[in-house]
């Protein structure tokens, strides 16, 4: 059964739903909510996702599975390196303004190919070059930290992008300032399945 506007979660409740779902995913106790015929039928007349997730296009990072959610639960925007541009920002604006999602999560992940390529000095040609600048900025911020450079930079990218979304004019900043939307940064560990908040 899908959620109705009357029982739509707040941003904090939405975040709790995601983290609880991730705990089920890690433990292997998946509920697979909203995967039934009735969920498909109800979603055919519209959508009411309770969270927007901006994450990497990496095939190992499927948000609906990671958070044990189903059809209509999450508005997912995916792009290599989970960076933002006009299209990704427009998609997030749509989710916030027209679908009323109270939570926006930017989720980086371990072993990110886009971050790894930039960290290794690989030249990204064509439109892939648009990934380079924000990732290089993150790498510069974390280059002296202990631990894996790529994973530290992936965490930093998520935090940077979450901050940029929070102040993005004209739509998102207004929703954040009016406390209608919460933007958080998170990090997914591919090997353990765990999501942590940053």
3-state secondary structure of 117: helix
pTM of the entire structure? Answer: 0.93
- Give pLDDT tens digits along the chain (198 positions): 344 445 789 999 999 999 999 999 999 999 988 877 887 888 788 899 999 999 999 999 999 999 999 999 999 999 999 999 999 999 999 999 999 999 999 999 999 999 999 999 999 999 999 999 999 999 999 999 999 999 999 999 999 999 999 999 999 999 999 999 999 999 999 999 999 999
* Exposed/middle/buried for residue 190 (C-beta within 10 Å: 0-12, 13-18, 19+): middle
User: Which pLDDT value is given to residue 6?
Assistant: 53
Consecutive H or E run containing 110: none
Domains and CATH numbers, the chain: 5-197 (3.40.1050.10)
Which two tokens mark 57?
């296009």
């Amino acid at each position: 059964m899908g959620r109705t506007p009357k029982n739509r979660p707040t941003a904090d409740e939405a975040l709790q739903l995601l983290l609880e779902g991730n705990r089920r995913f890690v433990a292997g106790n998946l509920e697979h909510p909203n995967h039934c015929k009735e969920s498909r039928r109800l979603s055919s007349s519209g959508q009411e996702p309770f969270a927007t997730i901006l994450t990497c296009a990496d095939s190992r990072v499927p948000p609906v599975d990671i958070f044990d959610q189903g059809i209509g639960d999450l508005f997912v925007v995916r792009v290599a390196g989970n960076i933002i541009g006009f299209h990704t920002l427009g998609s997030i604006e749509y989710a916030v303004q027209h679908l009323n999602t109270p939570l926006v999560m930017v989720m980086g992940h371990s072993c990110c190919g886009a971050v790894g390529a930039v960290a290794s000095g690989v030249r990204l040609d064509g439109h892939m070059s648009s990934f380079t600048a924000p990732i290089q900025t993150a790498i510069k911020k974390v280059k002296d930290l202990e631990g894996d450079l790529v994973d530290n930079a992936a965490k930093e990218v998520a935090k940077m992008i979450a901050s940029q979304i929070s102040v993005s004019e004209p739509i998102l900043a207004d929703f954040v300032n009016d406390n209608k939307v919460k933007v958080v940064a998170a990090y997914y560990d591919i090997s353990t399945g765990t999501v942590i908040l940053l």
